[in-house]
Amino acid sequence: MINALRGASLLAIFVVLPLVGCAPLMRPEGPSKVAQRAPIDSGPSTQRRGPDGYPLLGAFPSSAAPQLADAEVNAERSGLQGAQAGQGTEGATADADYARQLAEANALRLKTRQDVDAAVATGGPDGDTGTN
């Protein structure tokens, strides 16, 4: 009976410990810097619509939409490039944190395995190794 309980407790350790150790390795989900930027207002559409409010298929717009000025394009481009640079540094930091946490989890797994192997090799508190 004691051997069965000891076996069940070791099984529980080997099943639960890896699950607990991997929980902090999940990366947090969240919006990217580009997704947090304000949407671009492209202005009203010049596409014609029918009486029901839906666009008329095959009806082309009567005029071209006004083009953005060069200053607006350059400002938007520099903002997107800044967001990309910020996102890149956060990604590198997250990758380094993930690698560190993975190394810690592997070290903990190895130490636990060594501790359990040592405990099984030396036997229980009464010197019983579990063999009949």
Residues of the chain with pLDDT > 90, as a percent, come to 20
- Domain boundaries, given as residue ranges, for the chain: 74-122
* More confident site: 63 or 116: 116
pTM exceeding 0.75? no
Q: Helix count (H) and strand count (E) of the chain?
A: 2, 0
* More confident site: 46 or 121: 121
- b/e 67-95 (16+ beta carbons within 10 angstroms → b): eeeeeeeeeeeeeeeebeeeeeeeeeeee
Residue 29 reports pLDDT greater than 70: no
What was the pLDDT predicted at 111?
96
What was the pLDDT predicted at 124?
60
**Residues across the chain:** 132
